[in-house]
A = this chain, B = another copy of it.
Amino acid sequence: MRISEAAARSGLSADTIRYYERSAVLPPLPRGADGHRDVPARMVELMTLLHLLRETGMPMADLRRFTGLFRQGDATVAARRALLEAHGARLKARRAALDRCEVLLARKMEVYDQIEGRGRAERSGP
């Protein structure tokens, strides 16, 4: 399939796909007779995973290692598992940050309510 379709399906942008290929996060993609990339359907699955991993904070270097391992087949499953488990920890940390932020926003909203309340109904009764 064309790069644009792979982009649409995986969630990566076409630019990002090309960038990933350049920087060895993706393997060299096969080309059609016209020199255009002809993305194998099976690649889209990997791209989607990469998209999700990056979106949630896995660094490029780890993506690179991951796809490298992936290309070497089942013998590397243990190493891949380790990478993904490490990422699990990152997810946890991110969730914690989201939680903290949400709590703080809620508190801020209360403060704002009070300020605006005072503004609208100054010295309102108890």
Interface residues of A (CB under 8 A from B): 49, 52-53, 55-56, 74, 77-78, 80-81, 84, 87-88, 91, 94-95, 97-98, 100-102, 104-105, 108-109, 112, 115-116, 119
Bound complex: CA A119 to CA B73 (Å): 13
Query: Which residues on B sit within 8 Å (CB–CB) of A119?
Result: 74, 77
CB-based contact B94/A52 at 8 Å: no
CB-based contact B80/A91 at 8 Å: no
Query: Which residues on B sit within 8 Å (CB–CB) of A98?
Result: 56, 91, 94-95, 98
Known: A98-B95, A115-B77. A84 touches B109 (CB 8 A): yes
Bound complex: CA A98 to CA B92 (Å): 9
